[in-house]
Amino acid sequence: MNDDDPGPRATEQLSVGQLAERSAVTVSALHFYERRGLIASTRTAGNQRRYARSVLRRVAVIRAAQRAGIPLALVAESFVELPTDAVPTRDDWQRLSAHWRGELDARINALEKLRGSLGGCIGCGCLSLEECGFVNPSDLVAGQGPGARAFDGPGPTV
Ligand code: FES
């Protein structure tokens, strides 16, 4: 089977438990993905969720994106371009990965800068907002005014 041929099992419907088992993702995480619009289900006459088998690949991509630090909002934005009623083709995935490349490059750059600023932290332990590149990379809190500030790390958060 190639990526353009969904194959005979593509129309198989999965319960949320089956999807969780096959994707190694918890049911609660699947429900979260569904609330965020990343995956979709239909309902049986008994009001139980059923997922197309193609959702397995979406979940795998979501997990890979999360491991790479891609915000779920960006994943959802990218998924809008994917077919909802068929397994995405190789071209679909290539477009999607190209869409994420800029985000990954920005994250890699931010992490490289952070790594470069950590040299002074080894054996220091001060965690100073003025001096420490680990606590305050690129002095990001300087523009937030005087007083204590919380810093939640480089890059956008999910
Ligand atoms: S811990 Fe002291 S400079 Fe980072």
Count Cβ atoms below 10 Å from residue 75 Cβ, excluding itself: 24
Beta bridge partners of 50: 42
Q: Tens digit of pLDDT for each residue in 127-155?
A: 777 777 777 766 655 556 665 555 554 44
Output the CA 131–ligand 1 centroid distance in Å.
7
- Mean pLDDT, range 34-60, rounded to an integer: 92
What amino acid is encoded at 12 in this protein? E
- Name every protein residue with a CB atom under 6 angstroms from any ligand 1 atom: 120-121, 124-128, 131-132, 134
Cα 68 to averaged position of ligand 1 atoms, centre (Å): 26
Distance 135 CA to ligand 1 centre (A): 8
Instruction: Tell me the residue length of the chain.
Output: 158
CA distances from 135 to 70, 82, 93, 123 (A): 22, 39, 36, 15
Closest atom of ligand 1 to 133 CA is: 4
Structural domains in the chain plus CATH codes: 8-115 (1.10.1660.10), 118-158 (no CATH)
Is residue 117 predicted with pLDDT exceeding 80? no
- DSSP string for residues in 13-61: EE-HHHHHHHHT--HHHHHHHHHTTSS--EE-TTS-EEEETTHHHHHHH
pLDDT score at 45: 93
